[in-house]
Amino acid sequence: VFPASNKLSDTNLRSHLGRFHKLEKFLYPSQRIRQPRKEPTISVQQKQKLDAAAVNAIVQDAHVFNVFRKSGMKGFLAEGVPGYRGPNRRTVVKRLKVKYKQRRSSIREELSTVSDIALSVDAWQSNRRDHFICLSAHYYDKNFKYQSNIITFRRFVGTHSADRINKFLVNETEKLGIRSKICSITTDNGPDVRTATRSGYGVKLSCFLHVLNLVIRNGLWLFEMPATQSSTASTNSSIARSATTTASTNSSIARSATTTASTNSSITRSATTTVSNLSNSAPELTSFVYSSIDDDEHDLLINVDKVSEELSDDSASSTSSDQDGTVTTSISSSEDESVLSSSESETENDLHSTTSQVMDEEDFFYRASHDITFLLKKVHILLKRVRKLVGFIHRSSVLHRYVAKQMKLEIDNYNQNIASNDPSMKNMKFKELTLDMKVRWSSTYAMLSRFIFYKSVICSLTYDLTKRMNLTPRQNQKLKKLTFTSFEWRILETLQTILLPFYNSTMALSTRKRPTLSCNKTIMIALANFFTVDENEPTTLEILLKQHLSTIYQFYMEKHITDEQLRATLVASFLDPMTYHYLTCADKKEAEAIICTIATGHLAKINSQPLSSTNPLSISIRTASTVKDPNDRLNPIENLLISCGIPVRKLSSTNTNLPKKPSAIKEELAQYVANHGTYGDFTEYWEKNQSRLPILASIVRKYNIMCATSIECESAFSIAGYIQRKNRSSLAPATLRYSMILREKSQN
């Protein structure tokens, strides 16, 4: 206990008893003089409350555990709460473990009262090379309010085989007692997780955002160009022979073009039937294979920590991305290095030589209409040039200051014009040029939209700015090489138009409030309308890209979206008052037939439940005062419909005298069809009518809670990457799990 040189002394022991245990009678008189007694300024109860609040603040804001023991925070607490000393890191870890166990118990108790639960699952690799599996649960409460929780965020050690993932999911769901309540599970397109969740989890759903990302990324060659096939392989995989080719050509997207064009059994497969002249450009796809970039799930290996920090602010990310070296674009860190690989450089040279020899735009269009790959190569090269120019601007401080100044002037002029023309429009905020990333869905549209908006600023860089900006002749020469012709600007503008519906789709599905299957159906209908081409309309570059994307879209829809998912999507859209209007008559009849088929099981489920004390007749009707104002800001779904050429429909506000509780499913369907327009919100309608329409309400709880995407898990990975950032890289996996589960509680 005592040092070897002072074994007979009890001074330290007496000092300890007096200081920590308040046993001042053991202190020597000299010790009492040196350490006068300090009266506590806060009570024990108040300190406990402050400690609990401090731990919650650490969890919610992802602070380091010893933040309240740092000098700055200690000085603030001395002024704000005299006498209080914050918890140290060991105390915080102990409290987290206790709170985590309490949270798990509350989750288990909360889910025990829920009848139907939809799951979403995804995997992630941290910057410490640790793998985690996130499992989120989604359900409606008794008032039909959407609820979602991260119920599992655990480290996954070992190989990611389907058997091991399945055992992990079974173990987690059984521990929470929800195994029999699972109605669906949503995953990405990874082969292991798809195989693991093939059965035993209700309806198997593919993340629709992953599918759309594959369509635009691979269909438009945004980041990679497909490998070139040999002439023999090209002949074997042509679309003209795709209907009779063997299984050896299944990896070719071209094989699916004519097959999917003849498939019109569902709404999602109707896009190709509306494109009559698809075969004109489709055969030109045969010289490329997409297997090398088909279903790469980059998000499983992403350093989300760096990505989330870079993307937290567009302007900040654009400036710092190249310094960190973490952006997965084609921008080189060296100014004089080319952004193209050797093969792509040859492609660019071929295009430049072609355009230099044939300057007529009609000749370019003629080649593109007969060989769609010629247009896709041009798009690929132009995007690389855009990235190179943006990266060059960000790397040069002098050039960056000049461009930022000019862009602010452009924004001011734009805001002045809209203020004089339409005072109701909001001013546009200043946003710098940004780069797109593979891991950031629809970021190419954001890059192009800003690049095109600042077109005048970009064009001004082609002039000799050496004297005004002190650029070197070499830098000035590089700027001139990165100029864009008027025809190239039109190609970029056409590409922006093509990407807009997919951007709006991503925005509509990237919400954590209610990304259900009913939204999926509306997006499918909107994209099908967007791909529709009038036979009498003259062929343009936009039409060529639409036809090509329609083929790619059909391929991935056939590959990843099952018939079971399509039926569930149709039912969910039918029973959502917000999306019911956009269904065709055939869709509505098919949905009613499916609902009548599954109603028997739900009726038996209702009869097995105890009677509710809710009075079915005490239902209020929506009044005209609560109807959504047409001047209200459009939501992402409405923006998508407008961009795809579909008019937005407003719900009526007519009051309806609802009949008494129906006795059969057909009567419930008739009543729902008659009065669904009296409410402008999904939650409001089913909260008021769940007792009057019990069978439909039971179906809604199962089908309308199914997740269209795995965005909940993706968002959790971004948060986890921020929590385990550089200055917290030693955070233990178990502690990260505690923080994620408890943070979800504080957010809810």
pLDDT for 619 beyond 50:
no
pLDDT for 382 beyond 50:
yes
Rounded mean pLDDT of 77-90?
90
State if pTM tops 0.85: no
Task: Give per-residue pLDDT as tens, 136-173.
Answer: 999 999 888 998 899 999 999 988 899 999 999 999 99
pLDDT for 306 beyond 50:
no
> Rounded to an integer, what distance in angstroms lies between the CA atom of residue 188 and that of residue 206?
6
Question: Which pLDDT belongs to residue 467?
Answer: 56
Question: Which pLDDT belongs to residue 36?
Answer: 59
**Is the distance from CB of 150 to CB of 138 less than 8 angstroms?**
no
Number of residues in the chain: 748
pLDDT for 331 beyond 70:
no
pLDDT for 629 beyond 90:
no
Question: Which pLDDT belongs to residue 54?
Answer: 94
Provide the pLDDT confidence category of residue 511 given band limits of 50, 70 and 90.
Answer: confident
pLDDT for 33 beyond 90:
no
Rounded mean pLDDT of 250-267?
38
Q: Enumerate the H helices of 575-703 as residue ranges.
A: 585-607, 636-643, 665-675, 682-689, 694-703
> Rounded to an integer, what distance in angstroms lies between the CA atom of residue 664 and that of residue 685?
20
Provide the pLDDT confidence category of residue 647 given band limits of 50, 70 and 90.
Answer: confident
Nearest in space to 617 (alpha carbons), one of 673, 691, 686, 696: 691
Rounded mean pLDDT of 520-535?
89
Tokens 């006498």 map to which residue?
A: 83
More confident residue, 61 or 274: 61
Structure tokens at 246: 């063997």
Provide the pLDDT confidence category of residue 654 given band limits of 50, 70 and 90.
Answer: very low
Percentage of the residues of the chain whose pLDDT score is greater than 70: 72
Of the candidate ranges 40-49, 351-360, 413-422, 634-643, the one whose mean pLDDT is the lowest? 351-360
Which residue segments constitute the domains of the chain, with CATH numbers given?
A: 39-87 (no CATH), 100-207+709-742 (3.30.420), 208-225+361-510 (no CATH), 519-526+550-607+634-704 (no CATH)
pLDDT for 121 beyond 90:
yes
Rounded mean pLDDT of 545-564?
93
Provide the pLDDT confidence category of residue 468 given band limits of 50, 70 and 90.
Answer: low
> Rounded to an integer, what distance in angstroms lies between the CA atom of residue 719 and that of residue 102?
22
Task: Give per-residue pLDDT as tens, 215-257.
Answer: 999 999 999 888 754 433 343 444 333 334 333 434 333 334 3
Long-range contacts of 671-679 (CB under 8 A, 24+ apart): 672/575, 672/696, 676/577, 676/580, 677/577, 677/581, 677/651, 677/652, 678/621, 678/622, 678/651, 678/652, 678/653, 678/654, 679/577, 679/622, 679/651
Task: Give per-residue pLDDT as tens, 174-195.
Answer: 999 999 999 999 999 888 999 9
Question: Which pLDDT belongs to residue 516?
Answer: 76
Of the candidate ranges 379-383, 509-513, 639-643, 682-686, the one whose mean pLDDT is the lowest? 509-513
More confident residue, 615 or 32: 32
Cα–Cα–Cα angle for 375, 379, 385, rounded to 5 degrees: 145
**Is the distance from CB of 424 to CB of 368 less than 8 angstroms?**
no
Q: How far is CA 363 from the centre of its chain?
A: 40
Of the candidate ranges 256-270, 482-496, 641-655, the one whose mean pLDDT is the lowest? 256-270
> Rounded to an integer, what distance in angstroms lies between the CA atom of residue 374 and that of residue 312?
36
More confident residue, 679 or 627: 679
Question: Which pLDDT belongs to residue 165?
Answer: 94
Task: Give per-residue pLDDT as tens, 433-455.
Answer: 999 988 888 899 999 999 999 99
> Rounded to an integer, what distance in angstroms lies between the CA atom of residue 675 and that of residue 651?
11
> Rounded to an integer, what distance in angstroms lies between the CA atom of residue 446 and that of residue 383?
12
> Rounded to an integer, what distance in angstroms lies between the CA atom of residue 527 and that of residue 635?
17
pLDDT for 347 beyond 80:
no
Tokens 């099908």 map to which residue?
A: 528
Task: Give per-residue pLDDT as tens, 123-138.
Answer: 999 888 899 999 999 9
Rounded mean pLDDT of 25-47?
76
Three-state DSSP class for 730?
A: coil
Question: Which pLDDT belongs to residue 415?
Answer: 84
Task: Give per-residue pLDDT as tens, 387-437.
Answer: 999 999 999 888 888 888 888 988 888 888 876 777 667 778 888 899 998
pLDDT for 319 beyond 60:
no
pLDDT for 296 beyond 80:
no
Mean pLDDT of all residues belonging to the chain? 76
Question: Which pLDDT belongs to residue 7?
Answer: 58
pLDDT for 687 beyond 70:
yes
> Rounded to an integer, what distance in angstroms lies between the CA atom of residue 711 and that of residue 186?
10
Rounded mean pLDDT of 196-218?
92
pLDDT for 336 beyond 80:
no
Q: What residues contact 441, with CB distance under 8 A and at least 6 apart?
A: 209, 212, 213, 506, 510
Question: Which pLDDT belongs to residue 663?
Answer: 57
Rounded mean pLDDT of 553-572?
93
pLDDT for 479 beyond 60:
yes
**Is the distance from CB of 145 to CB of 126 less than 8 angstroms?**
no
DSSP assignment of 347-378, as one string? HHHHHHHHHHH---HHHHHHHHHH-HHHHHHH
Q: Enumerate the H helices of 21-138 as residue ranges.
A: 29-34, 44-61, 71-80, 89-111
